[in-house]
Structure 1
Amino acid sequence: MTASAKTDATFASVIDPELVRKLDELCYPKSVAIIGASEQFIKWGSMLTANLIHGGFAGAVYPIHPKAKTILGRTAYPTLQACPGPVDLAFITVPKEKVLPSIDECAAVGVKNLVIVTSGFSETGAAGAELEREVVAKARAAGMRLLGPNTMGMISTRQKLCMTGSVATPLAGGISMISQSGNLGAQVMMWAEEQDVGVNKFFGSGNEADLTCTDLLAYLGQDDSTTAILAYLEGVDNGQRFLRVAHDVALRKPIVLLKSGRTDEGARAAASHTGALSGSNEIWRGAMRQAGVILVKHPMDLIDGAAGLENLPMPEGNRVCVITLGGGWGVVATDLCNEYSLTLPSLPADIIAKLDGILPSFWSRSNPVDLVGQVDPVLYSTALELAMQSPAFDAVITLGLIGSSSFAYEIAEAAHSIAPETVSDETLTQFAGIRDSFEMMFRKDIARMVKQYGKPVVNVSLDKRHNRVILPVDGGEKIVAFNTPEKAVRVLAGMTLYQWWRKQNLKRG
């Protein structure tokens, strides 16, 4: 049996086909109603309506308002019954006292699923929890599944369904996310848009009164359009089920998880936020490692991890070659690699011999490969290709090579600002052109080698002009570049550990 067949067979035991069908309906509706739509921009009904239209949703949009004739240029309807066509998905943003009647109305017209943005339920105490149970019972009795309540919303980029409390319309891609915090999740989606990280789906799970983070994880695990999963969690109610699902999903695709409530104070904050039970952090971390989950500590680590997973091949082992423009960064990277269980093998004799012919006599002759400040993209590509070709290494980290072509331009620019007669406008423009052509030349070589040799190259950039993790290359390719060595090492280490775990578990069958 192939590895793929093994993972499919294992995963089939944890996925409910009916859940998949309902979540497909949720993610790919042909019509959406916003109950509580408004033109008052501080209200949820306005934000969601605006984001849905702004995101380019091609289906029917039905703003529901008892009095308004139009909302944001779209015809408004006093009730769901007044809508001219069927409603697949309803977003409910009315006050909590009106949620139950709204569900009755949804049931009456055959709405398939609900997203309840309204808060004031189990996160507020016993009375809110009782109301929440009534909401779920009424929705389930009518055949509807619901996301929330107390959710920031959801995104399904392939359907151009972008409905969160922030204007986030990320590029379509393979990364999906589950977040128990709406505002943190929405912020990650905004970062994804800013960094050109391709997103597939986003779920703000809210109070998880019906659809839980475990349900959503299982769904994304079988979703072929999702290549990797990000998650921000504050706690889970059924830890054993979550662990089993996470393990079986991780056999198919990587999961990057940020767990809050790691301290006593954080756990109390999580309980007051969504009512989540956090549990022992050490037990949680140990269980997640056994399940093959990549654990991170900071929100931006989710985007860094997504950039690596979406744009780089998995390393086959933990042997790294570090190529650095200067010695200091090489020393820092060596320490970081050792701390994160990445090894730096000795440089093979054939590579040393070849680099002896093109580097000054005082170069390091070791790993890290110190290029002693030589600003030369041809040299960079030569050194990189030697490392990529070598069976001694599974991955390469470059430090300071990306962006180094800006040095000459910046010196010329400084001279131009001080004494314009020494560096003309024309000369400055020529420097800029050389900088950009050198930079793109090296980027193209990196992209080619990653594809040719099937090994990841993780870069650390010196370029002050860009603050992006994903850098474009002529021809539509992309490379990954971080702004610090620790980010590069953390991402590579997470990918390496995950790949090792997956191989070991597939061997066990």
Structure 2
Amino acid sequence: MPSSLRPFFKATGVAVIGASANPRKLSHGILKNLIEYGYKGGIYPVNPGSEDILGQKCYPDVAAVPNPVDLAVIILPAPATPEALEACGKRGIKAVVIISGGFKETGSDGQELEAQCLKIAADHQMRLIGPNCVGLVNLHNGLNTTFISGLPDVGGIGFLSQSGAVCGGVVDLVQGKKVGFSHFLSLGNEADVTETDIIEYLGDDPNTNVIAAYVEQIRDGRRFLEVAREVSRKKPIVLLKAGRTSAGARAVSSHTGSLAGSYSAYQSAFKQAGVIEVNTVAELFDVSMCLDFQPLPTGKRAVILTNAGGPAALTSDSLSAHGIILEDLEAETRDVLRQHLNPAAQVGNPVDMLGGAEPADYAMAVKQLISDKNVDIVIPILVPQSLVNPAGVAQAIVDASQGSTRPVLTCIMGDISVNEARLVLQGNRMPMFVHPESMGRVLEAMLDYAVWRSQKIEAVAPLLNVDRAAVEKILRAPGAAKVFGEAETRPILAAYGIPMIKGGMASNPVAAAKLADEIGFPVVMKIVSPQILHKSDVGGIYLNLQNETEVMAAYEHMFTEIGRKMPKAKLEGVMIEQMAGSGQEVIVGMRRDAGFGPLLMFGLGGVYVELFKDVSFRVAPVSEKEALQMISETGAGKLLKGFRGTPASDLDAVVSCIQRLGQLALDFPEIEEVEVNPLLVHAQGRGALVLDGRIILN
């Protein structure tokens, strides 16, 4: 646990700089929350114009504040903040929350002001949360430096947000529903303390069982990946990422590329770190609540217990869409259910007890289903009826589930009439849903996390046959180009052990014919020009040339036609290459992400890659297992494994190419982008060959 963050959550005394006696001021709300929620440490309002506020003695400046004090909250106009921060540093305070706005979110002047604050903090070895934030809460000791009205219940979810407004909305959303939190944080501009710092802290916090996060941007992606991967082994991280679309990205001032945009990097990092990504605020807290309250499922076999067919059908559809199956119950379980339920009840799966089912029926059935060996997950559903008390059914489910090692997720449809039932269930750490279609996604997330955590971490093995010096000589030669075509890319890839199709470059028809003869007919001819990236678009590829005469004629024709289409293009010559045999064409590439570094790509290759976008991504470096997972996520991967009688292709060769491309990118940060398209993959055991490629430097 990072000790420098401890005062933010376990402060012995808090100075509120800019505290106001005006109830309409944010600083008044912060002071009021510190007093009202049970915080036992020192509370010191700082305001030279007041003697006391809310019964607390005021101090003219932070230097006058008595010990103990190790946390300050600044609520002053932005231009006054650096002076107040300097005073905190001289007072020896090591943790400061800057609530005020008016910093980098407002433009260059605010950015300069924020940089000034960061320098002051560094000079005094202080840590900062904010600026432009709502503050934070430790619900287990009552330390509340926010101005938010109300608080959720105490529990095991640690929530952090890069949006203060989302924090306020979430408090109102979960209040009074027995969804418990350990910590609640708004990080604002993250001038110093980041989401990764907080995840690392909460990873070691004994009161936190689940970490939930709303993030818009992760600036140090590689550190996030390292920390999240370690924390996820101990407890789940559930994360909602905003700015996934181009419109959303503009809203949070982030950048997305065309194919391998920044969101692809986030998705890849989340997969590799075991982070559970969700799509909505509702999912964020549904998943977090279930992970906090219930054990992880050990399998994907669910049973539905219901008093109505429609909600059971909706639940079944949701489960099926998310990979959860309805298994047949054991014969013994069905016999017991028949003996105790209405004779007209259906005792298959779903178990439909009909509309008159009472609390005793639910209690008996839940007990039987929990003990069935064919059941991993139990889902009781109730549609309230006039003669059945929902709270009574809820209590019956609670009692019957005591000591269960299988997760039990309950759906009681409705709103006003089910509030008491929700308090009964969630007060006993049993999640309740009101929409039957919500549970499939939640259970899928729980299952995915259980599988990820059960897997061993596979180390990335060192690569052999890598000539780093040869690549360094090419890339860092005086006057080296920024865009390398196939001719310049070939020796770089070859130096990292990536196999190339036999070939070379020729700058006139005679040389082309001679080279073709040395390679052996038939051959392929490709145009070489720094202005032409997609050769096939301009007629820059001729196939199956059978002899020297055809090669020379093709050379002349190609130059004439392309010269007519692109008169400004510099035509440097042609590549002459061996005609490749049969195989599956795939693409392997890399694009450098600003936050996460080299982002590897695999997918269906050839001229249709932009059309179908059948691609998957991972952040380099990748283990053999991660590369295979990457391949299996695509349609191209299914083709490689053999499709409708076609032989399986050489997956090991593809894995090697992916790993070597990742190592190349890690070794040379000046490489912005690499594209190998196509990589021709032969049958299993026969390897793969690069047929074309290019490199772009930053």
Name the TM-score class by shorter chain: 0.7 to 0.9
1:469 CA displacement: 8.5
**Alignment of structure 1 residues 413-492 onto 2, 5 Å:** 435=389, 439-440=391-392, 442-462=393-413, 464-467=416-419, 470-472=422-424, 477-492=428-443
Residue from 204, 227, 230 that aligns with 2:209? 227
Residue from 301, 320, 324 that aligns with 1:342? 324
After superposition, the C-alpha distances for 1:60-117 in whole angstroms (9 at most, x for unaligned) are: 1111112111222222111112223342111011011111100111112111210011
- The answer (yes or no) to whether the contact 1:192–1:199 under 8 Å persists in 2 is no
SS in 2 for 1:194: coil
**Alignment of structure 1 residues 67-82 onto 2, 5 Å:** 67-82=49-64
> Which stretch shows the higher mean deviation, 478-487 or 346-355?
346-355
Q: Are residues 1:261 and 2:243 paired?
A: yes
After superposition, the C-alpha distances for 1:429-471 in whole angstroms (9 at most, x for unaligned) are: xxxxxx48xx43x434433443323111111114633347953
> Which stretch shows the higher mean deviation, 117-126 or 144-153?
117-126
1:493/1:129 CA distance change after superposition, 3 Å: same
What RMSD in Å do the two structures reach over aligned CA positions? Answer: 2.4
Q: Are residues 1:160 and 2:139 paired?
A: no
1:301 CA displacement: 2.4
Q: Are residues 1:408 and 2:360 paired?
A: no
Amino acid at match of 1:231: A
1:326 CA displacement: 1.4
- State the alpha-carbon separation in 1 of the partners of residues 145 and 255 from structure 2: 27
Cross-structure match for 2:348: 366
- State the alpha-carbon separation in 2 of the partners of residues 23 and 468 from structure 1: 39
- The answer (yes or no) to whether the contact 1:195–1:469 under 8 Å persists in 2 is no
- State the alpha-carbon separation in 2 of the partners of residues 231 and 198 from structure 1: 15
Amino acid at match of 1:138: I
- State the alpha-carbon separation in 2 of the partners of residues 359 and 506 from structure 1: 48
Richer in helix (by share): 1
SS in 1 for 2:451: helix
**Alignment of structure 1 residues 231-246 onto 2, 5 Å:** 231-246=213-228
After superposition, the C-alpha distances for 1:280-322 in whole angstroms (9 at most, x for unaligned) are: 3344224313322222222232222232122212211111111
Amino acid at match of 1:48: I
Residue from 188, 196, 221 that aligns with 1:214? 196
- State the alpha-carbon separation in 2 of the partners of residues 470 and 30 from structure 1: 37
Amino acid at match of 2:440: V
1:58/1:261 CA distance change after superposition, 3 Å: same
- State the alpha-carbon separation in 2 of the partners of residues 468 and 270 from structure 1: 39
> Which stretch shows the higher mean deviation, 246-255 or 296-305?
296-305
- The answer (yes or no) to whether the contact 2:157–2:289 under 8 Å persists in 1 is no
Amino acid at match of 2:437: E
- State the alpha-carbon separation in 2 of the partners of residues 81 and 394 from structure 1: 60
- State the alpha-carbon separation in 2 of the partners of residues 363 and 81 from structure 1: 75
- The answer (yes or no) to whether the contact 1:320–1:345 under 8 Å persists in 2 is yes
- The answer (yes or no) to whether the contact 2:134–2:188 under 8 Å persists in 1 is yes
- The answer (yes or no) to whether the contact 1:96–1:118 under 8 Å persists in 2 is yes
1:25/1:477 CA distance change after superposition, 3 Å: same
> Which stretch shows the higher mean deviation, 33-42 or 162-171?
162-171
Cross-structure match for 1:87: 69
Residue from 451, 465, 483 that aligns with 1:500? 451
Cross-structure match for 1:197: 179
SS in 1 for 2:274: coil
After superposition, the C-alpha distances for 1:369-392 in whole angstroms (9 at most, x for unaligned) are: 122223222222222222110111
- State the alpha-carbon separation in 2 of the partners of residues 223 and 358 from structure 1: 46
SS in 2 for 1:333: helix
Amino acid at match of 1:140: A
Gap runs ≥5 in structure 2: 461-698
- The answer (yes or no) to whether the contact 1:233–1:258 under 8 Å persists in 2 is yes
Residue from 338, 348, 367 that aligns with 1:356? 338
- The answer (yes or no) to whether the contact 1:312–1:450 under 8 Å persists in 2 is no
1:231 CA displacement: 0.1
1:263/1:42 CA distance change after superposition, 3 Å: farther
1:277/1:59 CA distance change after superposition, 3 Å: farther
- State the alpha-carbon separation in 1 of the partners of residues 440 and 288 from structure 2: 14
Amino acid at match of 2:430: I
- State the alpha-carbon separation in 2 of the partners of residues 466 and 358 from structure 1: 26
- State the alpha-carbon separation in 2 of the partners of residues 249 and 502 from structure 1: 11
SS in 1 for 2:67: coil
- State the alpha-carbon separation in 2 of the partners of residues 149 and 123 from structure 1: 10
Identity rate of aligned residues, in percent?
A: 35
> Which stretch shows the higher mean deviation, 201-210 or 373-382?
373-382
1:508 CA displacement: 8.7
Residue from 100, 110, 117 that aligns with 2:99? 117
- State the alpha-carbon separation in 2 of the partners of residues 135 and 185 from structure 1: 24
- The answer (yes or no) to whether the contact 1:235–1:277 under 8 Å persists in 2 is no
After superposition, the C-alpha distances for 1:154-176 in whole angstroms (9 at most, x for unaligned) are: 00122211121312333322211
- State the alpha-carbon separation in 2 of the partners of residues 447 and 348 from structure 1: 23
Q: Are residues 1:132 and 2:114 paired?
A: yes
Q: Are residues 1:46 and 2:46 paired?
A: no
1:248/1:99 CA distance change after superposition, 3 Å: same
- The answer (yes or no) to whether the contact 2:73–2:145 under 8 Å persists in 1 is no
SS in 1 for 2:102: coil
- The answer (yes or no) to whether the contact 2:278–2:284 under 8 Å persists in 1 is yes
Q: Are residues 1:327 and 2:309 paired?
A: yes
1:365 CA displacement: 4.0
1:39 CA displacement: 2.0
Cross-structure match for 1:375: 357
SS in 2 for 1:465: helix
- State the alpha-carbon separation in 2 of the partners of residues 489 and 362 from structure 1: 28
- The answer (yes or no) to whether the contact 2:128–2:192 under 8 Å persists in 1 is yes
Amino acid at match of 2:358: D
Cross-structure match for 1:26: 8
- The answer (yes or no) to whether the contact 2:157–2:182 under 8 Å persists in 1 is yes
> Which stretch shows the higher mean deviation, 93-102 or 307-316?
307-316
- State the alpha-carbon separation in 1 of the partners of residues 199 and 18 from structure 2: 29
- The answer (yes or no) to whether the contact 1:232–1:260 under 8 Å persists in 2 is yes
1:34 CA displacement: 0.9
Q: Are residues 1:318 and 2:335 paired?
A: no
1:262 CA displacement: 1.6
Bigger RCO (CA 8 Å, 6+ sep): 1
Amino acid at match of 1:392: N
Gap runs ≥5 in structure 1: 1-16, 410-434
- The answer (yes or no) to whether the contact 2:97–2:128 under 8 Å persists in 1 is yes
1:249 CA displacement: 1.0
Amino acid at match of 2:405: G
- State the alpha-carbon separation in 2 of the partners of residues 283 and 79 from structure 1: 47
- State the alpha-carbon separation in 1 of the partners of residues 395 and 308 from structure 2: 23
- State the alpha-carbon separation in 1 of the partners of residues 387 and 68 from structure 2: 63
After superposition, the C-alpha distances for 1:405-443 in whole angstroms (9 at most, x for unaligned) are: x5227xxxxxxxxxxxxxxxxxxxxxxxxx48xx43x43
- The answer (yes or no) to whether the contact 2:411–2:432 under 8 Å persists in 1 is yes
Richer in strand (by share): 2
SS in 1 for 2:208: coil
Amino acid at match of 2:423: L
1:270 CA displacement: 1.1
1:386/1:285 CA distance change after superposition, 3 Å: same
- State the alpha-carbon separation in 1 of the partners of residues 35 and 112 from structure 2: 35
> Which stretch shows the higher mean deviation, 442-451 or 245-254?
442-451
SS in 1 for 2:346: coil
Amino acid at match of 1:172: V
Amino acid at match of 2:327: P
- State the alpha-carbon separation in 1 of the partners of residues 328 and 203 from structure 2: 39
